Chains A and B, each alone.
Chain A
Amino acid sequence: MLRSASVFLTKLITGVNPVWVDCQQHSDKLRVYFANHGSHLDFATLWAALPHAMRERTRPVAARDYWGRTKLTRAIAVGMFNSLLIAREGITRQDNPIEQMAVAMRAGHSLILFPEGTRSFDGVIGTFKAGLYHLAAKVPEAELVPVYLQNLNRILPKGHLLPIPLISSVVFGAPMQLEPGERKTDFLNRTRDAVLNLMPHAHQ
């Protein structure tokens, strides 16, 4: 009930229009959706853009130092969106985000991941952190789906509390995988380029 209300509210604010390019909406395989990051609306919007059956088994990955701060932020992240909260810093053997993501995937969940690690201020897509590479190596059967989120950083930019009602779109690209023997930097550049290539031409 609360979840369908949040899907409706997200779609109302962001006018979201999902576009599937070379990517099936439904898949029985585990997936990691990875996208550019510029707004608090990003994970709710990507999550709301998924078909219902896929959404039910997909968990956003969010920073524990940010979303675990207060009871309210934790209730939104975990209670509403079933997020997996991970450490961005101070990683130990007991508190290893890659291991926690792999566990969630082995339990049958797909993940939403923002490999830049933080929200971009001006819409420019930053370099990808290594997490996506380590996860792809650890769960090689997963499909890695590049996603471009358009206009969300204009609807609710970093540093603002109130959204303006522009129309966003979520573009899903062709699933990828870590190639045998592919180097970390090559893989991270290739996945970042895959997101960049989904950008509509008018906005480049």
Chain B
Amino acid sequence: MKLSEPLTQHFLASVFGVLAIASITGFILRKTAKSEGAQSTVRNLNARINSWWIMVVILIGTLMAGSTASALVFALISFLALREFITATPTRHADHRSLFAAFFLVLPYQYWLVYTKWYGMFTIMIPVYAFVVLPIIMVLRGDATDFLERAARTQWGLMVCVYFISHIPMMLHLPFPHLPLGNEGLILFFIIVVQGSDVLQYVWGKLCGRHPIAPTLSPKKTWEGLIGGVLSASLLGAALHWLTPCKAWQAFVMAFILCVLGFFGGLVLSAIKRARGIKDWGTLIEGHGGMMDRMDSLCFSAPLYFHLLSYFFHA
């Protein structure tokens, strides 16, 4: 992906064009919103759109800066996500050393494996070796209270926030030599489709959402939002198929699977938040909540996208 290529320029012009349309829409809604409730919704919408500008600029800048920069930026994203995850779960005094190892040994090593492209170790380091070593560090402190729960929480945090997210920069090392925007296009397709699905579910839900799917977990998610959002995001995926090795219908199916999985990722992490009595994971991204509030759908779909690409389309 080079800024000098016309295709890149057109692509970026479209992305920023969509953001500009969103900002103009937000501006018009701000002028027309009457009731206090509508104004508050529009304020949140505009905060979300402003944050989208920042996130898109960071993402595109990162991808243009190359695979090392991508590994570093996604390592930082994992770090911020894990920080929110562990902050929100109860820990005990005896977990201090194993959590230190999770943040400062396991996380950097996983992204070192991305950087060095050691795929074999990349796939097993957290599910096997971190799984074995962290409970050993924990058990040395001699505190058996809630031991399984504590070990499981740390492992979950690492799987969701580090292992899953690390698949995104690893996509840059998949062997596809002839993609028009390079492997960066694979990541752009993935993020645009899955995040687009989140946004479109929100829009469809606001426009015609009636029937809640899981009122006890996430009251704002509706059937109308889910179906409208996933189908329109899948169409978006079909339109963007040229970024990937897929044909249009294959990209539609791929996008559909990723969006459904992304939806369930959001639902699973909502259940964790609900159990802890919190609404958002943090306050980092204005209008959205924390890093994990934005990454939840990507976490659950990233490994599958990676595997589908390498299994069905290996060059």
Contacts and interface: CB of A to CB of B under 8 A. Distances in A.
A17 interface: yes
Interface residues of A, number: 15
B277 A164 contact: no
Interface stretch (B2-10, B51-59, B93-101, B170-178): B93-101
A166 B91 CA distance: 11
A122 interface: yes
Interface string B91-120: 101001001100100000000000000000
A150 to B, nearest CB: 9
Given A151-B87, A202-B276, A202-B278, A165 B79 contact: yes
B100 A162 contact: yes
Contact of B91 (A15, A154, A201): A154
A144 B239 CA distance: 63
Contacts of B99: 164
B172 to A, nearest CB: 27
Interface size on B, as a range, is 10 to 19
B277 A15 contact: no
A166 B93 contact: no
A151 B79 CA distance: 18
Contacts of A121: 93
A157 interface: yes
A43 B87 CA distance: 20
A167 interface: yes
B100 A164 contact: yes
Interface in A9-67: 15, 17
B100 A167 contact: no
B257 interface: no
A160 interface: yes
A166 B86 contact: yes
A123 B96 CA distance: 14
Contacts of A157: 93, 96
A105 B63 CA distance: 55
Nearest to A166: B87
Interface in B44-103: 79, 83-84, 86-87, 91, 93, 96, 99-100, 103
B277 A167 contact: no
B283 interface: yes
Top 10 A-B pairs, shortest CB-CB distance: A202-B277, A166-B87, A167-B87, A164-B99, A164-B100, A157-B93, A165-B83, A160-B96, A202-B278, A202-B276
15 contacts: A122-B93, A151-B87, A154-B91, A164-B96, A164-B99, A164-B103, A165-B83, A165-B103, A166-B86, A166-B87, A167-B83, A167-B84, A167-B87, A201-B277, A202-B278
Given A162-B100, A165-B79, 7 more contacts: A122-B93, A164-B99, A164-B103, A165-B103, A166-B87, A167-B83, A167-B87
